[in-house]
C-alpha cells in the first residue's frame, strides 16, 4: 500500500533500510516529521555504524511488537588484530597488532559459537544498567565492577570469505536470536583465536519475516511512498485461528472461549472476514486473549 493512496495510515509496519550514521531513534524522529500521526516503535535496535532491516510499528501495531519473530540475520566482517573502545571501527583504537588467521582456524572455531552462549554486553550499548544506559556509563568514564552478560542463541554462523589483508578480515553470516551484539561476537572470535578483533561493516539482512530485499530507503518515505505492511503479514510465523461469530464478543471483551485444541499455543486471531482481532493463547481447550488489537 502506498501512503499516497490513503490519507491516514495509523496501524501497520514498515520495513525500512536503515543507513549507517543514524541510530534507530534517529529513524523514528525522522518518521515523526514525515508521518505526523500515531506512535512509533521498532523491533530491535541497530547500532549507529550498522545498516539494514529496521522494522517499525505504527499505532496499534506497536502492541504486537513483542509477538514478532525474534530471529535476526546479519552479514558482518571481523577485523583481526584490532581492538577498539566500542568493538567496531567507530571507536578509539586501543590495540593494533597484525594477526594472521587461516580459513581452517576460523571454520574449526565457528561450531563452538553455535547454540546457546553468553556474551558480554558492549560498554557502548543502549542496554540499561543500574539506572543508566551502558554508553552513558562509558562516556562518564565510570568503571563498572561487573560487565553484564546476555544469553543468546546462535542458530547458524558461516564463514563467507577471508581476506589475508593486512589486516586479516573475515566476512561471516549469522542467524541468531534477538539481543545478539555482533560486536561482542567479533571480539569473542578474536579472543578465542588468541588475539583481538573488532567488527567492521555490519548489515542486518533479515528480521523475522522482514527481508532486506523488500526494505525501503528513507528517501521513499520522504517522497510519500511508504509501503505499509499489514499486521497479519508480520505474524506468519505463528498459527492463525478464525473465530466463529458466536464467540467474537466474548473474545474482544477478554473472556476465554471454548476451543477444540488442548495443546498450549500462541496464535493470531481473526474473524471470519479476515479482520485481525489480536493475539490469543490456547490452553486446556480454552482460547484466551493475550493482547487485543484496538
For the annotated catalytic residues, the residue numbers are: 47
What DSSP letter does each residue of 168-185 carry, written as one string?
A: PEEEEEEEE-TT--HHHH
Burial 87-122 (b: 16+ CB within 10 A, else e): bbbbbeeeeeeebebeeeebeebbeebbeebebbbb
**Residue 279: other Cβ atoms inside 10 A:** 22
Q: Which of 75, 119, 26, 61 is nearest to 235 (CA)?
A: 61
Distances (CA, A) of 138 to 84, 134, 145: 13, 6, 13
Amino acid at each position: 500500500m502506498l501512503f499516497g493512496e490513503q490519507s491516514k495510515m495509523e496501524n501497520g509496519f514498515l520495513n525500512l533500510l536503515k543507513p549507517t550514521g543514524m541510530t534507530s531513534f534517529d529513524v523514528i524522529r525522522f518518521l515523526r516529521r514525515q508521518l505526523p500521526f500515531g506512535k512509533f516503535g521498532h523491533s530491535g535496535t541497530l547500532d549507529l555504524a550498522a545498516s539494514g532491516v529496521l522494522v517499525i510499528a505504527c499505532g496499534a501495531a506497536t502492541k504486537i511488537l513483542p509477538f514478532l519473530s525474534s530471529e535476526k540475520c546479519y552479514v558482518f566482517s571481523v577485523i583481526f588484530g584490532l581492538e577498539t573502545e566500542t568493538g567496531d571501527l567507530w571507536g578509539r583504537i586501543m590495540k593494533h597488532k597484525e594477526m594472521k588467521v587461516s580459513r581452517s582456524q576460523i571454520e574449526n572455531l565457528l561450531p563452538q559459537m553455535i547454540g546457546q552462549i553468553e556474551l558480554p554486553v558492549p560498554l557502548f550499548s543502549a542496554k540499561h544498567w543500574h539506572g543508566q544506559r551502558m554508553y552513558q556509563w562509558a562516556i562518564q568514564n565510570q568503571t563498572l565492577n561487573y560487565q553484564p552478560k546476555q544469553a543468546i542463541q546462535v542458530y547458524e554462523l558461516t564463514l563467507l570469505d577471508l581476506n589475508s589483508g593486512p589486516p586479516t578480515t573475515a566476512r561471516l553470516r549469522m542467524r541468531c536470536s534477538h539481543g545478539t551484539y555482533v560486536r561482542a561476537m567479533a571480539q569473542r572470535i578474536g579472543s578465542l583465536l588468541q588475539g583481538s578483533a573488532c567488527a567492521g561493516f555490519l548489515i542486518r539482512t533479515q528480521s523475522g519475516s522482514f527481508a532486506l530485499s523488500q526494505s525501503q530507503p528513507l528517501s521513499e518515505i520522504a517522497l510519500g511512498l511508504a509501503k505499509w505492511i499489514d499486521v497479519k503479514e508480520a505474524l506468519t510465523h505463528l498459527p492463525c485461528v478464525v473465530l466463529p461469530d458466536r464467540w467474537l464478543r466474548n473474545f474482544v471483551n477478554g473472556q476465554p472461549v471454548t476451543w477444540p485444541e488442548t495443546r498450549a499455543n500462541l496464535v493470531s486471531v481473526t474473524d471470519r472476514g479476515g479482520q485481525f482481532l489480536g493475539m490469543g493463547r490456547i490452553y486446556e481447550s480454552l482460547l484466551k486473549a493475550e493482547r487485543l488489537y484496538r
